[in-house]
């Protein structure tokens, strides 16, 4: 009998996001990035959350094998450490450049792969970035932490080989 195998899609995406070459220019801190943990007991950090997926296509071949194309949805919360109010122009520039960087990585096949088996049609996009919240902290003096949110989508494919499990018939 075929068994369901769990996987970790968040870690490869976090490791990919940490390679953003211009985050420091905008004072975005990815160094302590976590999964679903913005304000931990130690210190605030950027975070990534998986918020679900949508089925785009479902197909069955003549051997009853199934291919499912899905779009995974992620919320990326970016923490910007600053002692000033959010600067809209600076925020907009970062979000625009981040979205374009994701597209650049997409074109040059640098995005994380989560399809099973690997699929050349995998695609990642970033959209709907905005200023989300402001938090004040006294960690070593007064500092304002501006929180920005960007939505990520990752299109991937799952393949189910039913010939390996004849009990389906």
Residue spans per domain, the chain: 10-168
Q: In percent, how much of the chain has pLDDT > 90?
A: 37
pTM score: 0.79
Give the Cα-Cα-Cα angle 84, 146, 51 (nearest 5 degrees): 170
User: Which residues contact residue 28 at a Cβ distance below 8 angstroms, ignoring those fewer than 6 apart?
Assistant: 20, 46, 78, 79, 80, 94, 148
For the segment 78-90, what is each residue's pLDDT rounded down to a tens digit? 877 665 555 566 7
Given pLDDT bands bounded at 50, 70 and 90, which one contains residue 108? Answer: very high
10-168: CATH topology: STM4215-like (3.30.2000)
Q: How far is CA 116 from CA 48, 66, 101, 158, in A?
A: 22, 12, 25, 5
Given pLDDT bands bounded at 50, 70 and 90, which one contains residue 125? Answer: very high
Check whether 71 has a pLDDT greater than 70.
Answer: yes
């Amino acid at each position: 009998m075929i068994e369901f195998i769990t996987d970790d899609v968040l870690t490869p995406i976090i490791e990919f996001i940490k390679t953003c070459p211009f985050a420091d220019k905008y004072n975005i801190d990815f160094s302590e990035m976590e999964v679903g943990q913005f304000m931990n007991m130690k210190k605030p950090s950027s975070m990534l959350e998986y918020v679900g997926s949508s089925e785009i296509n479902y197909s069955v071949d003549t051997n009853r094998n199934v291919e499912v194309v899905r779009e995974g949805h992620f919320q990326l919360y970016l923490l910007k450490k600053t002692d000033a109010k959010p600067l809209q122009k600076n925020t907009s520039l970062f979000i625009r450049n981040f979205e374009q960087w994701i597209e650049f990585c997409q074109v040059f096949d640098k995005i994380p792969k989560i399809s099973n088996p690997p699929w050349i049609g995998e695609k990642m996009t970033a959209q709907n970035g905005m200023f989300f919240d402001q938090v004040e902290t006294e960690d070593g003096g007064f500092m304002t932490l501006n929180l920005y949110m960007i939505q990520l989508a990752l299109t991937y494919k799952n393949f189910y080989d039913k010939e390996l499990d004849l009990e389906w018939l």
